[in-house]
Amino acid sequence: MSDAHTHGQHSFETLAIHAGQPADPATGAVVTPIYQVSTFKQDGVGGLRGGYEYSRSANPTRTALEENLAALEGGRRGLAFASGLAAEDCLLRTLLRPGDHVVIPNDAYGGTFRLFSKVAENWGVRWSVADTTDPAAVRAEVRPQTKAIWVETPSNPLLGITDIAALAEVARATGVRLVVDNTFASPYLQQPLALGADVVVHSTTKYMGGHSDVVGGALVTTDAELGERLAYHQNAMGAIAGPFDAWLVMRGVKTLAVRMDRHSANAARIAEMLTAHPKVTQVYYPGLPEHPGHEVAAKQMRAFGGMISFRVAGGEEAALRVCDRAELFTLGESLGGVESLIEHPGRMTHASVAGSALEVPADLVRLSVGIEAVDDLLADLTEALA
């Protein structure tokens, strides 16, 4: 794929708007069109225009997004999928064979844990859980069969911070790949490949799309050979991002930098308010100086993001009441959109980890802080906690 338009010398904000997206060669349209098409006319058998033959293999709208994602993460190859889990599935089936082993975090997205424990396991893939905030604990789980270390930072829902560079050293020393799920931070706040990771995973459904109107996923890697194998599997398995979904993600990414600045600023104010609130027993936000991962987060992130979790005095019932009473914070799963969301991980996003090593506290509430006026958000939470 041509990277003539990735503008390697430009800053993130500029790349977000322009990388992979030259004006349309046919019409001059300044926004990449939605090529809502399945097949392409060939100029004689095998005479492809720009390499396009069938949209599962490649589609110009998806290509624009894939080149954009590669540029934003500083990788050599980006691939866009139908969902974050489709991206993860493609990565697992490309990297792993029966008998192989992966170290996964003790605080992973519930769907990622389910993919390992309920699906990959049936195909002979082994996994074990480690506290990835402790590089020695991860090192202790690496076996001769281990092919990858899987990391989420900040993690979901407890906002744990893993030192990516430290784990990249563990991965290099043991000859395994380091995979980082960068969904919570986005490449604007954190660039795992520059810190030594081999593959970045995204649910573009979240901050990348940013408007709660699309489900999508992505993989980005620095390794061109692995990128080729992933692209082969993407085509062979077929869970691609459709043209309109790719276009929606691209449209979202153009404003990623300004949105993440505002998400982070709003979340910092709300974390401060919650910390001082008598009905809140603990606040998980990496921007707080007392957060155990604060120093590592300050080192590897540009700002601390828009996700906050907190525990409510009075247990599960009190936590559920806060979720019910909030109004501006909409009760719902997912995260990363412009609108603020509230949820109860134990009953909602993380119900699939109940009874496992990844179980979350019952009195936990998770916020995805949106970009509304922060005073309105503070008032809504104060009312919900009253």
Ligand X SMILES: *Cc1c(COP(=O)(O)O)cnc(C)c1O
With a CB cutoff of 8 Å and minimum separation 6, the contacts of 264 are: 189, 287, 303, 304, 305, 306
Minimum distance between the CB of residue 107 and ligand X, rounded to whole angstroms? 10
**Angstrom distance (rounded) from CA 150 to CA 92:** 11
Radius of gyration for the alpha carbons in the chain, expressed in angstroms and rounded = 21
Out of 35, 52, 109, 188, the active site residue is 109
Minimum distance between the CB of residue 162 and ligand X, rounded to whole angstroms? 13
With a CB cutoff of 8 Å and minimum separation 6, the contacts of 386 are: none
Buried b (16+ CB within 10 A) or exposed e, 296-320: bbbebbbbbbbbbbbbbeeeeebbb
- Residue 43 bears catalytic tag: no
Residue among 208 and 280 whose Cβ is closer to ligand X: 208
Query: Tokens for 240?
Result: 């691609």
- Residue 279 bears catalytic tag: no
Residue among 301 and 374 whose Cβ is closer to ligand X: 301
**CA–CA distance from 55 to each of 20, 37, 95, 164, 250 (Å)?**
18, 7, 24, 35, 18
Q: How far from the centroid of its chain's Cα atoms is residue 219's Cα?
A: 10
Residue among 74 and 111 whose Cβ is closer to ligand X: 111
Minimum distance between the CB of residue 145 and ligand X, rounded to whole angstroms? 24
**Positions in the binding site for ligand X (CB under 6 A):** 83-85, 109, 111-112, 152, 156, 181, 183-184, 203, 205-206, 215, 217
Of 244, 220, 251, 248, the residue nearest 234 (C-alpha): 220
**Angstrom distance (rounded) from CA 142 to CA 21:** 41
Minimum distance between the CB of residue 289 and ligand X, rounded to whole angstroms? 25
Out of 89, 100, 107, 181, the active site residue is 181
Out of 56, 76, 321, 347, the active site residue is 56
**Angstrom distance (rounded) from CA 219 to CA 150:** 13
**Angstrom distance (rounded) from CA 114 to CA 179:** 17
**Angstrom distance (rounded) from CA 303 to CA 130:** 26
Minimum distance between the CB of residue 324 and ligand X, rounded to whole angstroms? 23
Minimum distance between the CB of residue 41 and ligand X, rounded to whole angstroms? 33
Q: Which residue number has the CB closest to ligand X?
A: 84
Q: Which helix (H) or strand (E) holds 148?
A: strand 146-152
Residue among 160 and 280 whose Cβ is closer to ligand X: 160
Residue among 6 and 156 whose Cβ is closer to ligand X: 156
With a CB cutoff of 8 Å and minimum separation 6, the contacts of 280 are: 274, 310, 311, 312, 313, 385
Minimum distance between the CB of residue 323 and ligand X, rounded to whole angstroms? 18
- Residue 181 bears catalytic tag: yes
**Angstrom distance (rounded) from CA 286 to CA 139:** 24
Residue among 3 and 333 whose Cβ is closer to ligand X: 333
Of 382, 347, 328, the residue nearest 110 (C-alpha): 347
Residue among 249 and 323 whose Cβ is closer to ligand X: 249
- Residue 109 bears catalytic tag: yes
Beta bridge partners of 217: 81, 203
Minimum distance between the CB of residue 333 and ligand X, rounded to whole angstroms? 9
Asked if 314 and 189 touch (Cβ cutoff 8 Å), the reply is no
Residue among 21 and 156 whose Cβ is closer to ligand X: 156
Give the residue numbers annotated as catalytic, written as ranges: 56, 109, 181, 206
